[in-house]
């Protein structure tokens, strides 16, 4: 087996499968029912039997607020940390390459400049802590790996901010959206493209940050999503919209390392427009 997609039915996994199909690249796809990554023996047996060369690890627990409810022992930790450890150890044992997706939430958001790959993470919520722990495991266990930090993911498949805004706009005449959290939106297609680009072009192994170019607040993102609707978008600060999990105020990641590989990155406005056109 050349390629294995874990978490194949999620928002990113589905996009990645679509891209692999378009490129006529053979792969095997699994979800949690077919391969429970929290089961160490099951993962080891699956990898030993199938011997994938490249593993795209798209499985993750991403319910950020739910992750706050059971710190350290939740499904969040079992999937994101223990599951990733199982995958990394099994992948290393057969000499495979692992492509692992992480998050901007490994940063506390206190930096007013763009975060570099080498900046010290300081996660402030349980989801961010689990993903940072997984990053450390992958970099320690694996010889051949790509850790790709991303942010504000949206796409055609699964639940995300774009679909939430479009749905709410059909129900309400106005929406309030926070304007004091700044980041970079990421189209799943852009992320999937880079994951394959890394493998196909044999770029140096290691940690990369990848999103669409440009930056915005959630309010600005929402305004762009709904610019062709009659729904009014009203800015509010985070204190007016309390959530269980801390959100970084400024999690803009520097993309220079990914760009230095020759990978071309669309601005988020362009990526959003491409997605919205694909929905029509």
Question: Mean pLDDT, the chain, as a whole number?
Answer: 95
Are 133 and 81 in contact by the 8 Å Cβ rule? The answer is: yes
Are 134 and 81 in contact by the 8 Å Cβ rule? The answer is: yes
Q: How far apart are CA 2 and CA 25, in angstroms?
A: 9
* Residue 134: per-residue pLDDT: 98
Q: What is the mean pLDDT of residues 216-240?
A: 95
pTM attached to this predicted model: 0.96
* Residue 48: per-residue pLDDT: 95
Q: How far apart are CA 147 and CA 138, in angstroms?
A: 8
Q: What is the mean pLDDT of residues 77-93?
A: 97
Give the confidence band of 71 by pLDDT, cuts at 50, 70, 90: low
| pLDDT tens for each residue of 173-220 | 999 999 999 999 999 999 999 999 999 999 999 999 999 999 999 999
* Residue 69: per-residue pLDDT: 83
| β-bridge pairing 97-103 and 54-57 | parallel
Tokens of 108: 């506390």
Whether residue 11 has pLDDT greater than 70: yes
Whether residue 15 has pLDDT greater than 90: yes
Nearest CA among 14, 7, 11 for reference residue 160: 11
Whether residue 110 has pLDDT greater than 90: yes
Residues in the chain: 280
Whether residue 241 has pLDDT greater than 80: no
* Residue 1: per-residue pLDDT: 67
Report DSSP letters for 102-157, one per residue.
EEGGGS-S--SSPBPTTSPP---SHHHHHHHHHHHHHHHH-SSEEEEEE-SEE-SS
Q: So which residues are the catalytic ones?
A: 127
Tokens of 258: 């990914």
| pLDDT tens for each residue of 264-278 | 999 999 999 999 999
Q: What is the mean pLDDT of residues 97-116?
A: 97
Look at residue 59 and give its three-state secondary structure. Answer: coil
């Amino acid at each position: 087996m050349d390629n294995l997609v874990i978490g194949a039915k999620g928002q990113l996994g589905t996009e990645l499968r679509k891209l692999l199909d378009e490129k006529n690249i053979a792969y095997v796809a699994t979800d949690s029912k077919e391969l429970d990554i929290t089961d160490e023996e099951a993962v080891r047996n699956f990898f030993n039997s199938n011997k994938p060369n490249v593993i795209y690890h798209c499985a993750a627990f991403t319910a950020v607020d739910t992750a706050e409810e059971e710190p350290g022992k939740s499904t969040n930790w079992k999937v994101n940390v223990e599951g990733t450890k199982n995958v990394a150890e099994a992948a290393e044992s057969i000499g495979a390459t692992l492509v692992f997706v992480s998050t901007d939430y490994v940063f506390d958001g206190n930096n007013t400049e763009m975060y570099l790959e080498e900046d010290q993470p300081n996660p402030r919520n349980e989801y961010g802590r689990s993903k940072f722990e997984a990053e450390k495991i992958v970099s320690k266990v694996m010889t051949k790996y790509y850790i790709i930090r991303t942010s504000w993911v949206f796409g055609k498949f699964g639940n995300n901010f774009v679909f939430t805004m479009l749905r709410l706009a059909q129900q309400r005449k106005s929406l309030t959206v926070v304007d004091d959290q700044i980041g970079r939106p990421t189209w799943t297609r852009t992320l999937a493209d880079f994951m394959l680009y890394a493998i196909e072009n044999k770029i140096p192994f290691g940690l990369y940050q990848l999103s669409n170019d440009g930056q915005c607040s959630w309010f600005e993102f929402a305004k762009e999503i709904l610019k062709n609707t009659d729904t009014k978008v009203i800015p509010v600060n985070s204190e007016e919209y309390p959530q269980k999990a801390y959100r970084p105020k400024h999690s803009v990641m520097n993309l220079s390392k990914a760009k230095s590989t020759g990978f071309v990155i669309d601005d988020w406005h362009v990526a959003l427009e491409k997605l919205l056109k694909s929905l029509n």
